[in-house]
Amino acid sequence: MADKDKSIGIVETRYYTFAEPPDALVLESGETLGPVTLAYETYGKLNSEKTNAILILHALTGDAHAAGFHKGDKHPGWWDNMIGPGKAFDTEKYFLICSNVIGGCRGSTGPASINPETERPYGLAFPLITIKDMVNAQARLIDHLGIDKLLCVAGGSMGGMQVLQWVVSYPERVFSAIPMATTIVHSPQQIAFNEVGRQAIMADPNWDDGNYYGRRLPVKGLSVARMVGHITYMSDASMKDKFGRREKNEKGPFKFGAAFEVEGYLQYRGDNFIKRFDPNSYLYITKAIDNFDPSDGQGLTGILKGAPTRFLIIAFKSDWLYPAYQSQEIARSCKRAGVDTIYCELNSTYGHDAFLVEVDEQTHLVTHFLQRVSEGVRET
């Protein structure tokens, strides 16, 4: 459990609805979506010049609740160890914003939302969305908050993809960017892991072509998808340290039950995931990250040429889901484009999850980077 004394305390999720008829959010596919609701939270205080705003961008299964505690909760937001008084993203200095992406299921408009045309959940009638669509929706929220330019956009994994898309789509609105453990485009292996998860969901007889709302959910399929995903978030070393080949004390009567601790852990993670995530959202969001390519195959160098945004790029040596070479390619593209770039590769045994748990080194890097960026803003 997080130290509540160093937490920002009790927070509430708020909601912003836009693109109400006759307005609509035009998606990258050409389809339209509206009305659109974004769930979001803010931490800290926006200064009078509105120059201290930082947008935090979540990963695949994250949400708007990045820090602090919801009333009655025992556990804080997903990045509470990085957001708060005196932490990397210091709420005594900065105004932090985090929203749930469109296509999600944690308060923002997604497949489980009510389709105004049918007054039933969208299901597969929900249009395909992209990382660019997520960012365009976030830009509407930033407009709503009265912020012209963000001091920083930061996030890991899918959050890092959104960081890159922000710089590509709105370079004039971003002073600095911190993409962590991410990539410009998915490799075939990364797409393959996501496809296994999608197929597990769609093979569940309760999925029913996405029309399961109000009935039995495809929990087995979603649980397996989460188990596969969670394996990729860890490393061989972290699994060995955490589980080894230890056997469970109680194996149960079933021959193929969870005999090893690692089996029981994966089942636990899968069973808990189905309580908070919509299977259709998993399909839509994983497809969005598989399709992500902010440069349309041309590479970032040309697009970023002359971009004023400063970069801090962070990778982790044991991350085999988003290996360091992919972050190195982002750094090379930035430097070839003449963009002010710092690349840091951290020694960690936690695998892809390192961006969520390696607090000390990241705090040092982020603190000094944001201080440097803030000084640059004051000089302009």
Annotated catalytic residue: which of 58, 65, 186, 352?
352
Tokens read off for 136 = 């365009």
Distance CA 98, CA 6 (A): 19
Annotated catalytic residue: which of 319, 348, 353, 374?
319
Annotated catalytic residue: which of 113, 157, 176, 318?
157
Q: Residue 63 catalytic?
A: no
**N-to-C CA span, the chain:** 41
Q: Residue 157 catalytic?
A: yes
Q: Residue 58 catalytic?
A: no
Q: Which residues pair with 100 in a beta bridge?
A: none
What would the DSSP string read from start to end of 143-192?
HHTT-SSBSEEEEETHHHHHHHHHHHH-GGGBSEEEEES--SS--HHHHH
| Alpha carbon separation from 250 to 258, 289, 379 (Å, rounded) | 9, 39, 64
Q: CB–CB of 177/151 below 8 Å?
A: no
CB atoms within 10 A of CB 367: 16
Q: CB–CB of 229/270 below 8 Å?
A: no
Q: CB–CB of 89/359 below 8 Å?
A: no
Kind plus residue range of the DSSP H or E element containing 365: helix 359-379
Distance CA 160, CA 215 (A): 35
Supply the residues annotated as catalytic: 157, 319, 352
